[in-house]
C-alpha cells in the first residue's frame, strides 16, 4: 500500500543520484580543465588555492547548519517530553545559542584536526580537484536542507 512512495522517494533516488553525481563531477572537471588549459600554472595554482579556501568555508557552514538543526531538534524533543515546552512552540533562543556554542566548542577542541588526519589518509587533493569537491559537498548539504524543509524522506 505504501510501496509506491518508497520506490519513488527512496529506491529510485538511491540508484540515480550516484550516476548523476558522477556525471556532474565529470562535466565540472572537464569544464575547469578546458577553461584553464592555457593558464600559467603558478597563477592558476594560486587561484585554485583561494577557491579551495572559499569552498571549504562554505562546506563547513553547510555542515554546521545541518548539525545544529539536528542538535536543536533533539534538545527541543527532550524539552517537549519533559513538559517544559509544548508541542508546536518555537525553538527557544537559549537552545539555539547553546547548540551553536557547543558545536563551535567541539569543532575548536579537535574535530577539525581529526577530520584533517582522516581525510589526508583517504585521499590527497590537489588544488584543482579540491575546490570542486568541496563545492559539491556544500551543494549536497544545501540539498539536504531543501529536502528537509519540504519533508522529503532523507537518510542523514
pLDDT tens readout for residues 12-46: 889 999 999 999 999 999 998 899 889 898 888 88
Q: How many Å apart are CA 63 and CA 140, to the nearest integer?
A: 9
The answer to the question of residue 68 being in a domain is yes
The answer to the question of residue 30 being in a domain is no
Query: Taking residues 107-136, what's their average pLDDT?
Result: 57
- Which grid cell is 102? 557547543
Whether 152 has a pLDDT exceeding 80, the answer reads no
Q: How many Å apart are CA 137 and CA 7, to the nearest integer?
A: 25
- Which grid cell is 63? 555542515
The answer to the question of residue 120 being in a domain is yes
The answer to the question of residue 31 being in a domain is no
The answer to the question of residue 90 being in a domain is yes
What domain count does the chain have? Answer: 1
Give me the helices (H) in the chain, please. Answer: 3-6, 12-35, 41-81, 93-106, 112-122, 127-149
The answer to the question of residue 140 being in a domain is yes
Query: Taking residues 139-156, what's their average pLDDT?
Result: 52
132 contacts: CB under 8 Å, gap ≥ 6: 25, 28, 29, 32, 55
Closest Cα partner for 147 from 4, 6, 9? 9
The answer to the question of residue 61 being in a domain is yes
**Contact criterion met (CB below 8 Å) for 120 and 97:** no
The answer to the question of residue 92 being in a domain is yes
Whether 145 has a pLDDT exceeding 70, the answer reads no
What is the domain range of residue 76? 39-149
pLDDT, tens only, 65-92: 777 788 888 899 999 999 898 988 999 9
Q: So what's the pLDDT on residue 155? A: 45
pLDDT, tens only, 46-65: 888 888 888 887 777 777 77
Amino acid at each position: 500500500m505504501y510501496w509506491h512512495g518508497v520506490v519513488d522517494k527512496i529506491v529510485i533516488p538511491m540508484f540515480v543520484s550516484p550516476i548523476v553525481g558522477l556525471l556532474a563531477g565529470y562535466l565540472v572537471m572537464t569544464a575547469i580543465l578546458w577553461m584553464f588549459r592555457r593558464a600559467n600554472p603558478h597563477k592558476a595554482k594560486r587561484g585554485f588555492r583561494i577557491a579551495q579556501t572559499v569552498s571549504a568555508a562554505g562546506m563547513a557552514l553547510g555542515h554546521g547548519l545541518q548539525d545544529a538543526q539536528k542538535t536543536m531538534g533533539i534538545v527541543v524533543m527532550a524539552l517537549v517530553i519533559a513538559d517544559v515546552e509544548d508541542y508546536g512552540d518555537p525553538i527557544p533562543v537559549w537552545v539555539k545559542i547553546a547548540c551553536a556554542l557547543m558545536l563551535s566548542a567541539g569543532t575548536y577542541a579537535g574535530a577539525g584536526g581529526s577530520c584533517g588526519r582522516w581525510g589526508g589518509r583517504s585521499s590527497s587533493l590537489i588544488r584543482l580537484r579540491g575546490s570542486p569537491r568541496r563545492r559539491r559537498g556544500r551543494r549536497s548539504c544545501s540539498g539536504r536542507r531543501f529536502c528537509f524543509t519540504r519533508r522529503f524522506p532523507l537518510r542523514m
